[in-house]
Chains A and B, each alone.
Chain A
Amino acid sequence: MDDPEERFTELYDRHYRNVLGYALLRAERQSAEDIASETFLIAWRRLAQVPEHPLPWLLVVARNLLRKQRHLELRPLRLTLSAPEGDVADQVGERQAALDALARLSGADAEALILTSWYGLGPAEAAKVVGCSARTFAVRLHRARRRLADMLNSSQTVLQEQLR
């Protein structure tokens, strides 16, 4: 694609939601939207440097902006990932259990799960985003999956006991 404006617009259309979703993990909504916009402004200014697979690059830019603006910690996921209207009770319950479990993970573990499950990033790409080695990230992801599964299993056990 030769036309830079066309290339940029496609980049925005394809990845805006991904970048905003990532920013929302650390910033409240208005700030997150501003950070997503600023991320794409930087992408426009550096369009020649944006790689063929741009998402990890965009998330690194967003992460740097978040850090610059002192959004260093993951927000309570409950605030970010509020349940959509119209969910049936089972879905709400399952969702709530997942939210509770995610909220009890460390920020790094939760981020590892989100980067791989929301964006389909492999360990090497996700590691670049969070600034660690691919091996470290793979270990972190494995640990996060195991802890989440353990917590979900224990919460189901508690729920079943309460129903008896």
Chain B
Amino acid sequence: MNTDELVRALRPDDLLDDAYHRRRGADLTRILTDPPSRRPSPVRARLLLGGAAAAVSAALAVPVLVSGATGPIVAGGPAGSGVASAPADRVAPVVTLDARSFLLAGADNAARADVKAGRYWYSRERSYEPQPSGEVLVSSTETWYDGETGRGRTTSGLDAEVVAGGATAKAKPTPRTRDFRIKLLTGVGGESLSQDDLWRLPRQAEDLRRWLEARRRGEPSVDFTFSMTRLVLSGPTTPATRAAMLRVLADQPGLRLERGVADPIGRPGAAVVSADGANRLIVDESGARLLAEEYTGPDREEERVGRGVRVGARTGEKTVYESSGWVEKIGERP
């Protein structure tokens, strides 16, 4: 037996076979229901299928925004609803507000937003994923999901691009559409929330603050609050909950407000930035509608917390919330 044969005989085939047979079903279920080209969301979704829990990375963690958000609080600001397309002119601020005042005004606007009835929660998002090579992968995903029946559809791989060194290469679009019937749960602080649970989140700022604090599990308050603001403002939550969330965010110390900015697809708005500059939410000028989020802090490693995983973050990651709202049928858009 030569050295290669000797080393080959050391391969732990029994152990590998055991793991392969034990994990194959759950792995394939989890992976094949994951939309391609998505980065994990800070709030990891979990998928329950056939009674067996299997982790899924953010299958439905990012939908949406407030449909029918109210008008601007600043004269000249765009009301902005639906999917924006062409880059818009920068908005000149007429009134100077600090971040806290801006968010509180946004909360008032969010609370007044109409609630559109419908069976399916629809969202279209665009994600920007920096790669170690320096390239940035860009892709859009559309999702419809009815939490009551578990029926849904996801189409991913739309508008794929690779951006490297300022040059953009359009990748060959390979959109994949999958119809599914599964129960999607969003994990927050060890608790799994259904679509209905998200709808029933506390509607008063103080109640929501207590609810969040009970689930923060040691994560820095500012990071957790920004993550939850993304979830609440982009998810199927009530206008009152969104307003409460903005009030909770407004109480974070050291927030900065940047006016006259645009999101990565050119929609004008204002940026609310955490004191350390790492977390940046771009909202429309009403302050009530989330347009995009950007992470510009140092790379964060994935971290185990109890039985859960706090996913990492890479500097330069962005998610654009292009459109969302309730619709009656799969295929319809708000």
Contacts and interface: CB of A to CB of B under 8 A. Distances in A.
A57 to B, nearest CB: 14
B24 A95 contact: no
Interface stretch (A64-72, A122-130, A132-140): A64-72
A82 B30 contact: no
A163 to B, nearest CB: 20
A17 B36 contact: no
B27 A12 contact: yes
A94 B1 CA distance: 10
B47 to A, nearest CB: 13
Contact of A98 (B10, B24, B31, B34): B10
Contact of B16 (A21, A69, A95): A21
B210 interface: no
A162 to B, nearest CB: 21
Contacts of A45: 34, 36-38
Contacts of A40: 27, 31
Given A41-B57, A48-B174, A81-B12, A69 B302 contact: yes
Contacts of B1: 94
Contacts of B23: 16, 33, 36-37
Interface of B: 1, 3-17, 19-20, 23-24, 27-28, 30-32, 34, 36-38, 57, 132, 171-172, 174, 176, 301-302, 312
Contact of B28 (A9, A47, A70, A149): A9
A33 B36 contact: no
9 contacts: A12-B27, A36-B19, A41-B30, A45-B38, A48-B174, A117-B7, A145-B3, A149-B3, A152-B3
Nearest to B172: A48
A117 B5 contact: yes
A20 B19 contact: yes
A97 to B, nearest CB: 9
Interface string A23-64: 010000100010011001100111110000000000000001
A115 B16 CA distance: 16
Interface of A: 4-5, 8-9, 12-13, 16-17, 20-21, 24, 29, 33, 36-37, 40-41, 44-48, 64, 68-70, 77, 80-82, 84, 94-95, 98-99, 102, 113-114, 116-118, 145, 148-149, 152
Contact of A20 (B3, B20, B32, B312): B20
A21 B27 contact: no
B11 A148 contact: no
Contact of A118 (B8, B57, B132): B8
A41 B55 CA distance: 11
Given A20-B20, A118-B7, A148-B6, 15 more contacts: A5-B32, A12-B31, A16-B24, A36-B23, A40-B27, A40-B31, A45-B36, A45-B38, A48-B174, A68-B312, A94-B6, A95-B9, A98-B6, A116-B4, A145-B3
Q: Which 8 A-B pairs have the closest CB atoms?
A: A17-B16, A117-B7, A117-B4, A117-B8, A45-B36, A98-B6, A81-B10, A148-B3
Nearest to A85: B14
A82 B31 contact: no
Given A20-B19, A113-B3, A41 B31 contact: yes
Contacts of B16: 17, 20-21
B34 A70 contact: no
Contacts of A84: 12, 14
A21 B11 contact: yes
Contacts of B31: 8, 12, 37, 40-41, 44
Contacts of A48: 171-172, 174
Contacts of B13: 17
Contact of B36 (A13, A20, A37, A47): A47
Contacts of A21: 11-12, 16
A12 B132 contact: no
A48 B28 CA distance: 18
A145 B4 contact: yes
Contact of A33 (B7, B14, B19, B34): B19
Contacts of B3: 113, 117, 145, 148-149, 152
